[in-house]
Chain A
Amino acid sequence: MQWVVATAAFLASAVEFVEAFTIVLVVGVTVNWRSALLGALAAAATLALLVATLGVALVQWVPLDILRTVIGTLLLLFGLKWLKNAIMRYAGLKARHDEEAIYEETQAELRARGEVDASSSRFDLFGFLLSYKSVLLEGLEVAFIVITFGLSAATSTVSRSSGIASAALGALLAGLLVILVGALVRAPLANVPENTLKFVVGIMLTTFGTFWLGEGFGGEWPLSDVFLLILAAIYLGASFLLIAWLKQVKKQQQARARESQSVPTPAQTQEVKP
């Protein structure tokens, strides 16, 4: 069992599943639960098939050195994307994900379509497809993380399939937890700290991406695997500095906006003159 891999997959999956759950919930409440759950199950089956086929293909046929370079690069790109977005959200330069707003918006769209009878249990193709699409799109990121992160855990002592199994287990637990909490709450999971989770996962993906890419190019890190903690600390420290800097930029921008509003326009100045 690869605990780091399982934890990273769990955190990343939890965020994505919360986002997918909001759409499944709105379809369930507004259209009907039969279509919503069938769509979610069909998407989960598609994703499981994707992880199984792509994961097995990569495990069996791609040499480890090539895999480390490719997976390291993908993890790095993916991690930097998550980290950048999380930093921007912390600094207030990007809107945070608002599950309640998404819920209201999607519900309004569904009601505007008309022909919605929530009391009916008849299969609704539109509801099925909406649920399927949302789970599949959010789940694709999870599948990507499970495959890449699981494969990146492969070492001389740990097999590649064991890494994928650990990552898949982490993702499965996150999915079950979201379903359980969602079933109890029956409302959008707005209190989940999505940005914090994305920030942590961004740091983890970037750390492992850098580590594996370095090893893929034949480099050796000082202190071996312990250097992962040092890398994470470096990226964490740099991210906090960047958040502080971007908050400063936003404050300056807001101050300038206030100044420009308080300065009278030439037309207003002329009116005051006798």
Chain B
Amino acid sequence: MKVIKAIYNFIVGDMVILIGVALAIIVLTLINNVGALAPLKGFSGLFLIIAVLGSLVASLSREADIWR
């Protein structure tokens, strides 16, 4: 458990960012593998950028809330 926590802290150390990036990867996997979602493939880059910015904003909002 200590090793996992050390790796988590070393690589990301922020649950909001981790969940945001993980969700983005899940959605991208679905877009790539589910036939019904294939028309969205052209927007996967745009979706990824929005997901990255969303994760950053969400993580910083949480920090700002602590200060409020």
Contact = CB atoms under 8 A, between A and B. Distances in A.
B19 to A, nearest CB: 11
B11 A78 contact: yes
A217 interface: yes
Given A93-B64, A218-B32, A84 B18 contact: no
Contacts of A14: none
Contacts of B32: 217-218
A73 B68 CA distance: 32
Interface size class of B (residues with CB under 8 A): 20 to 34
A242 B67 CA distance: 15
A242 B45 contact: no
Contact of B17 (A81, A88, A141, A222): A81
Interface of A: 73-74, 76-78, 80-81, 83-84, 87-88, 93, 140-141, 144, 206, 210, 213-214, 217-222, 231, 234-235, 238, 242, 245-246, 249-250, 252-253
30 contacts: A73-B25, A74-B11, A77-B18, A77-B21, A78-B12, A81-B12, A81-B14, A84-B56, A88-B60, A93-B64, A93-B67, A144-B10, A206-B52, A210-B52, A214-B48, A217-B28, A217-B29, A217-B32, A218-B32, A218-B41, A219-B44, A219-B45, A222-B45, A234-B49, A234-B53, A238-B53, A242-B56, A242-B60, A246-B60, A250-B67
